[in-house]
């Protein structure tokens, strides 16, 4: 046999062994997917049985308090025009908070009674004509009640980070984002619940227990800004400030059927959020708004970034939706998380169909390079964050995962199971830094080249509507649809898209490249206009 013939034969063998490998891989992949579905199904069945048939929903809203369902923009205008007093608005919100909290269990500190005094003082000044046009312009949120999560500091209010050791700790000064909202005229009425150190996909701590989903009390509100989402969706707060390091604004917003915007990293000062100084370089965490109306996101963003950045980010410019380019992605390909439920695929199809009629070039289906490695990327980048979870959880002292696990098993731990899980994860083999940096770079480059200055991407929020409490312990990776955009530091808006047959909220994410927050907001506003927007968990009677 000639050398050429031998080489040909070898090539053939290599080729066929590659094909065999591909087939084997695809069979294994499918077996894995089926096992995953079976496990999800079983977990769902067991938890359904565990939580029983009783589904408690949010109490009805009395018709006389219907102003609570208005947007922040409408309410602010009404207060300015003396159509309603600020006192009426604030006291109605506080009454509603007291009514819904026994069901949702979302409040850590509050309601703050001094908010009523503040409201009276504002009414007095408005009545006497003491507020100039200038002051109204500088305070677009004058008299509007709002809330924030416990981990974001509010002067003289509880700042526990969800841990028992800090149960009586109060903040010495306002976080920057809280200060900015107060300066814009808004009135803080309560702080809301979080998982310990914000580190879990459910909102549960040993201070007040777990926060319940107002659409179905047996289900999770997500985390970590879970108290915020539950309170806002039930009209116990007009709007809220969340923070997001791996989906913490968007996940609870999705499960509770409201809007949430995770801004581009770095454009909102994080001083006072989970004890940060605001000077940390390169962090995935960012503060942002949570609302019942898409149209309220933009005015809050303008306050949070300040006048200079509002101009730089073109937040005042009207977006021509016809001039944007649209893309959608139906799966991240990450086999650690479940496959996306058909009802969410259908929701995405509705969105795509709608934008097909707007965009001359249509909506193009894409996959993102390396998105299937999202879980690993996020896990690595979490280890590069300036704050140490272990240290924060220990309230300044480094905890030993083994000791804490032993304490948990013997029932003497002061921490939740979720925190023990995170402690254990921290001693598991680390991701390979060089490899992760490279796949992150490629993923970033792929998204940046795809979207450029004028592209938006429709991406799933997660794989299904709100799961039962505790589901996340069996399936920790569904949240990777959110955390990809923390890894990439890009803006992403969570938009509600009606309810599923169980009456639970559905939704989608809108993604753009860094500093194109305005595209996300414009598309969210259009989706609110075209579809149902936020659908309440309660009836009005
Ligand atoms: C993950 O997704 C599957 C499939 O949609 C679902 O059954 C399960 O409840 C989800 N778990 C969590 C924690 O999101």
Q: What is the pLDDT of residues 275-328, one digit of tens each?
A: 999 999 889 999 999 999 999 999 999 999 999 999 999 999 999 999 999 999
Query: For residue 370, how far is its CA from the centre of ligand 1 (angstroms)?
Result: 22
Read off the pLDDT of each residue in 479-489 and give the average, rounded to a whole number. Answer: 97
Tell me the per-residue pLDDT of 84-135, one tens digit each, with 9 for 90 and over: 999 999 999 999 999 999 999 999 999 999 999 999 999 999 999 999 999 9
Q: Is the CB of 151 under 6 A from ligand 1?
A: no
Are residues 195 and 416 in contact, defined by beta-carbon separation less than 8 angstroms? Answer: yes
- What is the spatial distance between Cα 176 and Cα 174, in angstroms, rounded to a whole number? 6
Extended beta strands in 361-419, E state: 363-365
Q: Is the CB of 463 under 6 A from ligand 1?
A: yes
* Residues with catalytic roles: 149, 224, 248
Helix, strand and coil in the chain, % to nearest 5: 45, 15, 40
- What is the spatial distance between Cα 400 and Cα 312, in angstroms, rounded to a whole number? 46
Tell me the per-residue pLDDT of 440-478, one tens digit each, with 9 for 90 and over: 999 999 999 999 999 999 999 999 999 999 999 988 899
What angle do the packed helices 72-80 and 297-312 form, to 10 degrees?
90
Atom of ligand 1 nearest to the CA of 40: 7
Q: What is the DSSP string of 3-25?
A: HHHHHHHHHHHHHHHHHHHHHHH
CATH classification for the domain delimited by 63-311+318-374+432-531, as one of 3.40.630.30, 3.90.1300.10, 3.90.1180.10, 3.20.20.70: 3.90.1300.10
pLDDT of amino acid 3: 67
Query: For residue 41, how far is its CA from the centre of ligand 1 (angstroms)?
Result: 9
Q: For residue 489, what are its two tokens?
A: 């530091």
Please count the other Cβ atoms lying within 10 Å of the Cβ belonging to residue 488: 24
Atom of ligand 1 nearest to the CA of 201: 13
Q: Check pLDDT > 60 for residue 1.
A: no
Work out the percent of the chain whose per-residue pLDDT is above 90: 89
Query: For residue 36, how far is its CA from the centre of ligand 1 (angstroms)?
Result: 10
Q: Best of 41, 195, 338 to mutate for ligand 1, by most ligand atoms within 8 A of CB?
A: 338
Scored b (16 or more CB within 10 A) or e, 187-223 reads bbbbbbbbbbbbbbbbbbbebbebbbbbbbbbbbbbb
**Biggest CA-to-CA distance, the chain:** 105
Q: Is the CB of 500 under 6 A from ligand 1?
A: no
| 505-511 and 455-459 beta bridge pairing | antiparallel
Residue nearest to atom 12 of ligand 1 (CA): 472
| Domain ranges, ordered by start, for the chain | 1-54, 63-311+318-374+432-531, 388-429
Q: Is the CB of 44 under 6 A from ligand 1?
A: yes
Query: For residue 35, how far is its CA from the centre of ligand 1 (angstroms)?
Result: 13
Question: Given phi > 0 = left and psi -120 to 50 = alpha, else beta, which region is 209?
Answer: left
Tell me the per-residue pLDDT of 61-98, one tens digit each, with 9 for 90 and over: 999 999 999 999 999 999 999 999 999 999 999 999 99
- Radius of gyration of the chain, Cα coordinates, nearest whole angstrom: 24
Query: For residue 240, how far is its CA from the centre of ligand 1 (angstroms)?
Result: 27
Query: For residue 129, how far is its CA from the centre of ligand 1 (angstroms)?
Result: 55
Residue nearest to atom 14 of ligand 1 (CA): 478
Number of H helices, E strands in the chain: 18, 13
Q: Best of 38, 195, 334, 464 to mutate for ligand 1, by most ligand atoms within 8 A of CB?
A: 464
Strands, sheet with 259-262, edge to edge from the N-terminal-most edge strand? 107-109, 187-192, 145-149, 240-244, 286-291, 259-262, 492-499, 505-511, 455-459, 325-329, 363-365
Are residues 375 and 334 in contact, defined by beta-carbon separation less than 8 angstroms? Answer: yes
Atom of ligand 1 nearest to the CA of 479: 14
Are residues 300 and 338 in contact, defined by beta-carbon separation less than 8 angstroms? Answer: no
Please count the other Cβ atoms lying within 10 Å of the Cβ belonging to residue 41: 10
Q: Best of 218, 252, 467 to mutate for ligand 1, by most ligand atoms within 8 A of CB?
A: 467
Tell me the per-residue pLDDT of 21-70, one tens digit each, with 9 for 90 and over: 888 888 888 888 888 888 889 999 999 999 999 898 899 999 999 999 99
Residue nearest to atom 8 of ligand 1 (CA): 40
Q: Check pLDDT > 90 for residue 222.
A: yes
Please count the other Cβ atoms lying within 10 Å of the Cβ belonging to residue 186: 25
Predicted model pTM: 0.95
Task: Of 302, 175, 296, give the one whose Cα is nearest residue 243.
Answer: 175
């Amino acid at each position: 046999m000639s050398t050429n013939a031998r080489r040909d034969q070898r090539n053939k063998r290599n080729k066929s062994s590659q094909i065999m490998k591909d087939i084997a891989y695809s069979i294994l992949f499918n077996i894995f997917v089926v096992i995953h579905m079976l496990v999800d199904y079983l977990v769902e069945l067991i938890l359904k049985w565990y939580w029983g048939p009783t589904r408690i929903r949010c109490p009805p809203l009395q018709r006389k308090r219907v102003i609570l369902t208005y947007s922040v923009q409408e309410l602010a205008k009404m207060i300015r025009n003396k159509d309603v007093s600020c006192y009426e608005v604030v006291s109605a919100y506080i009454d509603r908070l007291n009514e819904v909290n026994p069901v949702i269990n979302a409040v850590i500190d509050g309601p703050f009674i001094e908010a009523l005094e503040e409201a009276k003082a504002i009414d007095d000044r408005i009545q006497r004509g003491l507020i100039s046009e200038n002051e109204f312009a500088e305070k677009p949120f004058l008299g509007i009640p709002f809330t924030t999560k416990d981990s974001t500091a509010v002067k003289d209010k509880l700042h526990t980070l969800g841990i028992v050791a800090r149960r009586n700790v109060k903040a010495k000064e306002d976080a920057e984002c809280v200060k900015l909202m107060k300066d814009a005229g808004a009135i803080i009425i309560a702080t809301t619940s979080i998982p310990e150190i914000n580190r879990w996909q459910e909102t549960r701590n040993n201070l007040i227990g777990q926060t319940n989903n107002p659409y179905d009390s047996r289900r999770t509100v997500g985390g970590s800004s879970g108290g915020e989402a539950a309170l806002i969706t039930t009209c116990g707060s007009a709007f809220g400030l969340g923070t997001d390091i791996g989906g913490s604004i968007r996940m609870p917003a999705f499960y509770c059927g409201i809007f949430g915007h995770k801004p581009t990293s770095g454009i909102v000062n994080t001083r006072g959020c989970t004890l940060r100084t605001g000077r940390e370089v390169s962090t995935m965490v960012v503060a942002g708004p949570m609302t019942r109306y898409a149209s309220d996101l933009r005015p809050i963003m303008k306050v949070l970034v300040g006048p200079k950045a509002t101009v730089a980010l073109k937040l005042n410019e009207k977006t021509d939706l016809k001039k944007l380019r649209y893309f959608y992605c139906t799966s991240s390909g990450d086999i650690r998380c479940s496959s996306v439920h058909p009802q969410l695929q259908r929701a995405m199809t509705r969105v795509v169909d709608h934008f097909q009629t707007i965009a001359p070039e249509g909506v193009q289906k894409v996959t993102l390079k390396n998105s299937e490695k999202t879980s690993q990327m996020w896990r690595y980048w979490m280890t590069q964050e300036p704050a140490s979870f272990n240290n924060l959880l220990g309230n300044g002292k480094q905890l030993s995962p083994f000791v804490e696990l032993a304490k948990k098993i013997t029932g003497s731990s002061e921490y939740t199971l979720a925190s023990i899980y995170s402690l254990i994860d921290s001693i598991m083999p680390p991701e390979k830094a060089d490899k992760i940096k490279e796949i992150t770079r490629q993923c970033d480059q792929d998204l940046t080249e795809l979207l450029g200055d004028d592209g938006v991407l429709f991406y799933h929020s997660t794989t299904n509507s709100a799961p039962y409490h505790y589901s996340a312990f069996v399936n920790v990776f569904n949240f990777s649809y959110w955390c990809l955009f923390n890894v990439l530091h890009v803006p992403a808006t969570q938009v509600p898209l009606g309810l599923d047959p169980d009456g639970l909220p559905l939704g989608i994410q809108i993604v753009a490249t860094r500093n194109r927050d305005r595209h996300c907001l414009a598309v969210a506003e259009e989706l609110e206009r075209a579809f149902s927007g936020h659908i309440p968990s309660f009836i009005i009677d």
